[in-house]
Structure 1
Amino acid sequence: MRVLQGLGVLWTLPNTVIGLLAGLVGMTAGARVYWSRRECALVFRRWPWGPGGAITLGTVILHTGDDMDGLCLTYEHRAGRCQHPRVRLGDHERAHVFQYLLLGPLFLPLYLLCGGVSVRNPFERAADRYAMHGRGWWPWWN
């Protein structure tokens, strides 16, 4: 399993470099960095730009808050499609890390083709499913 994870880290390295550069720029405005073993990612907390929440780029998470334990609404709940309990933001973002490890440089183009940041995007719905149930991070598994 570690070998596969290591290959995934190498495969998604171009995305991770983008995240690292964005995180380093954020550090000039007060962001702080730490390794999160739970999220399998380098987390830049208090990242100073954006509407709030987090974005994952490879094995880097840019987060506007103080920690990844905050609760958030699922995309389907926010869109009024159903009632879901709030989910832990870190669990949602960890699903995206797993998606990046599998898809590497293909993730961002596929993510955008699937609708970007929206309830229509199967990557976002899978990340919400994983955050709710601890399984199902791949968009085309149930």
Structure 2
Amino acid sequence: MPVYLFRALLGLGALWTLPNTLIGLLLGAAGLVFGAHMHWRRRDLAIVFHRWPWGPGGAITFGNVILHTGDNLDSPCVTYAHRAGHGEQPTIMLADHERAHVYQYLVLGPLFLPLYLLCGGISARNRFERAADRYALSGRGWWPFGADA
């Protein structure tokens, strides 16, 4: 695929998911008052807010925004299946997992959040989380509705 076509598709995806990105920007901006800081991560196609002050730890993605409670998104974490006791799996990089969600948002846009919630929300049984873990483990398979979803 030519680079210009790929960039055009990324731009269309960013516009499509803009409502979700705005949610992330509003939440991230609220965190700035409490010490969060932000920067653009080109590889993840996202604005990342580090030291976001709310939540149980880890990260959550809204469109092209990642809210992260820690200092470095390039940190190891366990998969949802591992955390739920569904077997031993190697650790993954949190950035890779969240990047998969950014890709999912770029394709699904405003449909992402309702579909994500219908699939079980934040849990090991959610096909979106399984796909993000699969992508973080292998670099492939971020789409949640494939044959191996």
TM-score normalised to the size of structure 1? Answer: 0.99
Matched, 1:55 2:73: no
Following TM superposition, the consecutive aligned residue runs of length 4 or more in structure 1 with deviations greater than 2 angstroms are: none
Secondary structure, aligned partner of 2:44: coil
Matched, 1:102 2:107: yes
- The equivalent residue for 1:6 is 11
Q: Aligned match of 2:122 in 114, 117, 124?
A: 117
Task: Quote the Cα distance in structure 1 between the aligned partners of 2:88 and 2:132.
Answer: 16
Partner letter of residue 90 of structure 1?
A
Task: Quote the Cα distance in structure 1 between the aligned partners of 2:34 and 2:23.
Answer: 17
Partner letter of residue 91 of structure 2?
R
Task: Quote the Cα distance in structure 1 between the aligned partners of 2:83 and 2:50.
Answer: 24
| Aligned-residue RMSD, C-alpha | 0.6
Matched, 1:69 2:80: no
- The equivalent residue for 1:21 is 26
Unaligned runs of 5+ in 2: 1-5
Task: Quote the Cα distance in structure 2 between the aligned partners of 1:8 and 1:40.
Answer: 11
Query: How big is the shift at 1:87?
Result: 0.2
Of all paired residues, the percent bearing the same amino acid is 68
- The equivalent residue for 1:84 is 89
TM-score normalised to the size of structure 2? Answer: 0.94
Between the two proteins, the alignment pairs up a number of residues equal to 142
